[in-house]
Amino acid sequence: MLNSGKRNILGVLIDAVDYEGAVDIIFRAAKEKRPAAISALAVHGLMTGALDREQRFRLNQFELLVPDGQPVRWVLNALYGAGLPDRVYGPNLTLKVCARAVEERLPVYFYGATPEILAALRPALETRFPGLIVAGAEPSKFRRLEPTEKVELADRIRASGARLLFVGLGCPRQEIFAYELRDLLPLPVLAVGAAFPFLAGILSQAPLWMQNAGLEWLYRLLSEPRRLWRRYLFLNPAYLFLVVLQALRLSTFSTEGQAPSRELLHG
């Protein structure tokens, strides 16, 4: 198990942790009924924090930010000697948490995506993990939640008996969701991005060789060019440029951020 703590990449505190270390942190919180915000961050998610002080503040309050993307893992290894053999990929982390949830008999809850995706996700996971207890699942409203809706949602999740909450809203909405809902829930809130459609079999994943080479972004760009071209063609070069500045110590990146001026909970 590898877990050498948080490391500053462009002002965002990423945990130098492997799958085993991440699952251990998640289940300690689940069994102790403690609030915990967790996210699997690739380059896009990390850059939202690097470029936005309020988002950086949110992310740096998370109990766990795992290196979802290979380029994030590479920087942890290069700058900090983390020795991580693999990234902690959101869909795979979801599978490992579900497998452990069966062993521990801890109910899980899914929030986000569309009704069609959730309708396919639940039986796919229950087939893969016999004995998985799904306490509830509800789709995104694809709009900001009113304060009363936020409280009602937290009440529903607590009343379901869930001990782990998976959130699939896309970045950065899911990180804002986890940050703002964390203190209302005595359980880990895991922002896992595209894990829902991937594991439901609705969205195809990049071949393993592309994932290992850090080219998953290219596969997704070719699959959804109109939606993703701005994300990858601007943020990826910016990430490389800023990492070089950090590596050469030509620029420093503060982890402080700025407390959000208002709530933006988007369900």
Note the pLDDT tens digit of each residue in 201-216.
998 888 889 888 888 8
C-alpha distances out from residue 147 to 33, 59, 154, 160, Å: 24, 22, 11, 20
Q: Which amino acid is at 44?
A: H
Into how many domains does the chain fold? 1
Residue closest to 153 by CA, chosen among 122, 126, 189, 119: 189
Q: What is the pLDDT of residue 55?
A: 97
195: CATH = 3.40.50
Nearest to 173 by CA among 33, 45, 32: 45
112: β partners = 168
Q: Is 61 among the domain residues?
A: yes
Q: Would you say residue 183 lies in a domain?
A: yes
Picking from 100, 94, 74, the residue whose alpha carbon sits closest to that of residue 85 is 74
pLDDT, tens digit (0-9, with 9 covering 90-100), for 149-187? 999 999 999 999 999 999 999 899 999 999 999 999 999
Q: What is the pLDDT of residues 35-78, one digit of tens each?
A: 999 999 999 999 999 999 999 999 999 999 999 999 999 999 99
Question: Which run of H or of E encompasses 160?
Answer: helix 147-160
Residue 75 lies in a domain: yes
231 occurs within a structural domain:
no
Q: Check: CB of residue 147 under 8 Å from CB of residue 181.
A: no
Domain limits for position 74: 12-199
20 within a domain of the structure (yes/no): yes
Q: How do residues 100-153 score in pLDDT, each as one tens digit?
A: 999 999 999 999 999 999 999 999 999 999 999 999 999 998 888 888 999 999
In a domain, 227, yes or no: no
Model pLDDT, residue 142? 84
Residue 188, beta-bridge partner list:
36
CB 230 within 8 A of CB 224: no
23 lies in some domain: yes
Three-state SS at 102:
helix
Q: Is residue 27 part of a domain?
A: yes
